[in-house]
Amino acid sequence: MQTATRSRSLPRLRLSIALIAGAVGSMAAQAQSFDFNNGGNFNAPFMPGMLVVSRSVYDNLSSNVQVGQVLPPNCASTTAGCSTGNGAIADGTYPYVFNNDTYDSSFGITSRIFLDQMTPSGLPVSTLEVPNSLQNSHGHAPADQLVTSFSSKSELGLHLSTDGKYLTFFGYVAPVNTIDASNANTPGVVDPTNPDNQAIYRAVARVDRAGNFTFTETNAYSGNNGRAAILNDSNGNNLIYGTGNGGNGANPQPEGVVVGTGAQLITASSQHEAQQTPGTLEPVGSFSITQLGDKADKIGKDDNFRGIALYNNVLYYTKGSGSNGVNTVYFLDTTGKACPTGVGVPAKNATLPTTPLAYNAATVATTGLPSNMCILAGFPSTPVKTATTVAYPFGMWFADANTLYVADEGDGYAGGTDLYTHAAAQTTAGLQKWVFNTTTQKWTLAYTLQAGLELGTAYTVRGYPTGSNSVTNLPWAPATDGLRNITGRVDDDGTVTIWGITSTVSGNGDLGADPNRLVAIRDVVKNTSATSASHEKFVTLRSANFGEVLRGVSFAPGTASNGHLF
């Protein structure tokens, strides 16, 4: 997708330089005090130029889990069996419930999704609740529903469609308070070695400017989660590009798990969920470290993708987790000529894919999918298993063809009492600025913005436990570990504003359940050295409350890809 022509932004929507350069200020303070659970108009339409943040709220019922309950659900009927131990160690009370992750590695509970609209400076405008099983209209639950897994920190990335008319994101077709949905099989791809023996569709939500939802179910990402999606609705297309991970069982993984992971192509549906019959999986891209001359990893796990971006008709993906593959930035090569050795830059005549990747079903479980993706030249290309320094890239945003911002979420270390000092000492975590060298045809890391993020500095959440978690023997208080999803806007004065969602570390049994933050920073596009950016600093625009998590950030439907109005 070509970046829209830069236009003059509305003054009332500008994020002031003073706000970003210094203290948060009164507007952000007002945003912090606003209760999105009780404020806003459910039916309020989205306004172009506004920000949208995806948020989830845990139901906090002690009855959600019973102490001693055997987990994951139906594990006794699988070849993997059940988790060792005496069952769940905590009931459903927040945040103690997520200590069950130390007993059941698949643990999670589904929760409601909210789309909070706010000004770029953080002032609240409205909130929109995604249809779910707890809603009741005239005695009946909504015909369609979608939830997230509360502690699954990689979910609910928000992205505008190619024509800017819709927002899209992934979730689960399940009731609120379903246990372990995020590691369940999908109905069409059942892995008997997955201990979480449930059948739950993943689905992509599409919401328009008026707040109308449609959902597209898929059998992709069985055993794991879809993380983000982009709708290609230009030139008569109706295709969704998905990113995520599959598999929660033994090696070798079944064909459906290998085919249904990573980069997916999904045809958007306009039918109600009950009318849909998701069928054939359609992978659109794959990468293998054998392209780099390295020995093959676990089949399918090189495609454990997190973030996704679309720029100039090229799809980009990040990998930042797992013990296989390379943690780096990738692009999908539709020309077949851009990177014969697995590393390169997109061809100028590249087009967006509209058909799935062809593969041999008889051999895919043992040899994997054909490779049609490449590491972006200049980014790391050493496998995680042998790299001396490992990055954890997540969200991406292009300011222009030669300037790419990459969010690094940090390593999530919580292995000892040094968790805070470890987080503070990270060099890759935060917002990385990469600049393209047109002579060498490679990207170079200009600098990493960390000031104001307060990496490793514990903060207080009202109502959250104090002291140490008796299960992990580590402090409950969360601290920022890095950034996940981001979006940005190019301004006429040569600066960009970047908004991001933070990741956390703490003594919580599951770091994804920590209340986190929405932050923002301004950067001068032409800056290429850390010295020139030394005055730039993040500010916090919003902090999640007790029982809340923030996940994705995007501009509202009707906004161009550079953050301005069409």
Q: How would you write the pLDDT of the chain (566 residues) with one tens digit per residue?
A: 333 333 333 333 344 434 443 333 333 444 444 455 544 444 458 999 999 999 999 999 999 999 999 999 999 999 999 988 889 999 999 999 999 999 999 999 999 999 999 999 999 999 999 999 999 765 666 789 999 999 999 999 999 999 999 999 999 999 999 999 999 999 999 999 999 999 999 999 999 999 999 999 999 999 999 999 999 999 999 999 999 999 999 999 999 999 999 999 999 999 999 999 998 999 999 999 999 999 998 898 999 999 999 999 999 999 999 889 999 999 999 999 999 999 999 999 999 999 999 999 999 999 999 999 999 999 999 999 999 999 999 999 999 999 999 999 999 999 999 999 999 999 999 999 999 999 999 999 999 999 999 999 999 999 999 999 999 999 999 999 999 999 999 999 999 999 999 999 999 999 999 999 999 999 999 999 999 999 999 999 999 999 999 999 999 998 876 677 66
- Give the whole-angstrom CA distance, residue 193 versus residue 106: 13
Q: What is the pLDDT of residue 1?
A: 37
Residue-level pLDDT at 395 = 98
With respect to residue 221, please indicate whether it lies within any of the assigned structural domains. yes
Q: Is residue 564 part of a domain?
A: no
- Tell me if 114 is assigned to some domain: yes
Which backbone phi and psi does 359 adopt, to 5 degrees?
-150, 165
Angle ∠(324,330,332) on CA atoms, nearest 5: 120
Residue type present at position 354 = T
Six-digit token pair at 30?
């007002």
**Does residue 5 lie within any of the structural domains?**
no
Q: d(Cα 496, Cα 123) in Å, to the nearest integer?
A: 20
Q: Which two tokens stand for residue 426?
A: 């990270």
Q: What is the pTM of this model?
A: 0.93
Q: How many CB atoms lie within 10 A of CB 40?
A: 20
Range of the domain at 171: 11-555
Domains in the chain, number: 1
User: Residue 205: which of 148, 137, 127 has the closest Cα?
Assistant: 148
Which amino acid is located at 79 in the chain? Answer: T
Name residues whose C-beta falls within 8 Å of residue 1's C-beta, 6 or more positions apart in sequence. 162, 234, 310, 311, 312, 313, 352, 561
Q: For residue 563, is it within any domain? A: no
The pLDDT of residue 30 is 40
Does 317 reside within a domain? yes
Rounded to an integer, what distance in angstroms lies between the CA atom of residue 517 and that of residue 512?
Answer: 12
Asked if residue 537 belongs to a domain, the reply is yes
Q: Is residue 566 part of a domain?
A: no
Question: Which H helix or E strand runs over 367?
Answer: helix 364-367
Cα–Cα dist 369/356, whole Å = 12
